[in-house]
Structure 1
Amino acid sequence: MTNRSRYNIWIILGWISILLIAGCGASNQNPDSSMADTSQSQITEIADSKNPNTAPSEKKSAGMAAMMVYQAELSLNVKDLATSQKSLTQLVEKMNGYIVEANSYNQGEENSLLNGNFRIRIPNAKFNAFLEETEKLALKVANRTIQGRDVTEEYIDLEARLASKQVLEKQLLGLMKNAQKTSDLLQIAQDVNKVQTEIEQLKGKMKYLKNQSDFATVTIHMTENKAVLPSLSDNPVSTWDKTKQQFMNSIKFMVDSASVLFVVIVGTSPLLLFIGAIIAGIMYWKKRKGKKDESV
């Protein structure tokens, strides 16, 4: 190597040293201001790199299965509600589902019509099979409604927003460790708390969509189709009972009549005696007058 080449190398190394010293000096002049600028630029940079408004097709993972949320309503006429309810419970357990709500009530003339309502969660993979088996429990399917909703893009959007917030949270925690001023520390702490709250909300929405897509919701209304017919054995009054009842009514009427007659006679006896005495006096006076007329 020639002397001139060595000289050029030393010149280059000297310039590099000068630039490094100048850079270090500028960074040490106002560390708090530099940190604040860095924090703002990093937050903006992260937000731009993780923009949730990116088209779902760009964010969608290759080969990801569609997430469908299914709901169904069935109105069934059954022969016996108690038997059908027992069979339905066994079917739900067989399909690895669970009953969220169940109730029964009476309606119709003299509360003769028995009804039952059930809200059931069934794994999506067994949704159609469950509907078919449930309809077999009915004498008649009065109504059948099925609704489906694709939530794939909604879930992917939440997933992307969650990843963005988690990166931002990590960056803010790093800035918090290096903060030197109290005001900067408090501001960053508020930002961290806000981001963590948003992260929990996103996780909750994703968990809800996942549960809704894993389990379908089926609402079932059952009506017992049982006619209530009168029966001779159910009649509380038989022919012999009617005869005894009529006999007792007759005896009661006679006793009541005798009682009324006795009350009338005893109660009005003074008046009757007075009237009888007047009648007897009149008869006696007429009889004496008649004898006098005959003697004349």
Structure 2
Amino acid sequence: MRKAILVALLVPLALAAAACGGGGGSSSGTSGGGASQPLRATVTTAEGAPLMADLTVRGGKKLAAGRSSSSGATAVPQIGPKIVQTASLELSVKRGRFGETVDDARTLVAGLGGFVASSSASQGRGGRLVRGTLVLRVPARAYARAMSALANMGHIDARRESGQDVSAEFVDLQARERQLRAVEVQLLALLGKARNVSEALAVQNQLDETQLELEQVRGRLDYLDNQVAYATIALAVHERAPIVTPSQHHGWGVVHVWSVAAHGFVRVLEFVVVAVATAAPVLILIVLGWFGVRVVRRRRVTAQ
């Protein structure tokens, strides 16, 4: 039990050694003004036996991820701006050109080295596809060309563009990745020198947590890399409705009035004809019944 506790205390010691291994002012790891020297950490058990003998924690570029042995400052790698570009574009096209416009957009994106992430379309009257959306991913270097070419495919109803600078997050994640890699190396060294199962389990648990966090950081870096490398464009396309002129439905001329009246008369006449044709069998039966009743009454009167 005491050994397991000492192992738990040893892990923070290794982390502290990795953090200060390259510092120029450290009294145990460097000489007065020269290059960094190896740090040696030896931990013993309560019985006086060495638990982790002659553990070497090296500073400098290898484990401290760029620490300078002369100044002790962290050298952050220089990177260019990391911008995530997104845009949305709404286009209206002539009647019957929806499918052609969508095909043109697909061809354009493929030619620029991009791809269609998702697409959807819906039908209008007549069962034709008349509106839809596409989510396009294009290389960042071709973003301006893609937007210009897409805008020329129809009438622009709406256009929105934005850019998110993720440079600071990118630098922070890279620094975190270097730190976790250094911790992983130290824990692997500790695991290789474990003297029994309890010591190995204690180090292994800490190693699992470190490796899990390292994978999460790497996954976030990969995601940001992809978002920066490829711009995202949401394209919405729909066909324009036919233009209705006042003379077609809202004119007040004499010809238009007589035309509307004629259409109304024809509709009323159609309704009357349909109603008479529907009721004709019933009317015939009623008339026949009425004549039958009269014949019977006359016969009774004659018989009396």
The answer to whether the aligner puts 1:103 opposite 2:120 as a matched pair is yes
Aligned residues of 2:98 and 2:129 also touching (Cα < 8 A): no
Of the structure 1 ranges 114-123 and 98-107, higher mean CA displacement relative to structure 2 is found in 98-107
The answer to whether the aligner puts 1:85 opposite 2:102 as a matched pair is yes
User: 1: CA distance between counterparts of 2:202 and 2:196?
Assistant: 10
Matching residue of 2:288:
265
Matching residue of 2:18:
46
Matching residue of 1:130:
146
Aligned residues of 2:121 and 2:129 also touching (Cα < 8 A): no
| Compared CA separation, residues 61 and 255, structure 1 to 2 (3 A) | closer
| Compared CA separation, residues 253 and 170, structure 1 to 2 (3 A) | closer
Matching residue of 1:215:
230
Matching residue of 2:298:
276
User: 2: CA distance between counterparts of 1:38 and 1:264?
Assistant: 113
Deviations 1:235-260 (A, max 9, x none): xxxxxxx9xx98xx69x859946x84
RMSD: 3.9
Deviations 1:224-244 (A, max 9, x none): 114188xxxxxxxxxxxx9xx
Q: CA deviation at 1:197?
A: 0.5
Structure 2: gaps spanning 5 or more residues: 22-63, 66-72, 245-265
The answer to whether the aligner puts 1:68 opposite 2:68 as a matched pair is no
Amino acid at match of 1:136: N
Matching residue of 1:239:
none
Higher helix fraction (1 or 2): 1
Aligned residues: 229
Q: CA deviation at 1:168?
A: 1.0
Matching residue of 1:144:
159
Matching residue of 1:170:
185
Q: CA deviation at 1:67?
A: 1.4
Deviations 1:247-279 (A, max 9, x none): xx69x859946x84466436753x434421355
SS at match of 1:223: strand
User: 1: CA distance between counterparts of 2:243 and 2:229?
Assistant: 43
SS at match of 1:179: coil
User: 2: CA distance between counterparts of 1:160 and 1:188?
Assistant: 23
What percentage of aligned pairs have identical amino acids? 20
Matching residue of 1:116:
132
Aligned residues of 1:176 and 1:188 also touching (Cα < 8 A): yes
Amino acid at match of 2:82: M
Q: CA deviation at 1:179?
A: 1.3
Aligned residues of 2:93 and 2:240 also touching (Cα < 8 A): yes
SS at match of 1:96: coil
| Compared CA separation, residues 34 and 58, structure 1 to 2 (3 A) | closer
TM-score after normalising by structure 1 = 0.65
Look at both structures and tell me which one has the larger radius of gyration over its CA atoms.
1
TM-score after normalising by structure 2 = 0.63
Structure 1: gaps spanning 5 or more residues: 1-29, 52-56, 230-241, 283-296
Matching residue of 1:23:
none
Deviations 1:87-132 (A, max 9, x none): 111101111111011111246x899993211111110000011000
Greater RCO structure (CA 8 Å; 6+ sep): 1
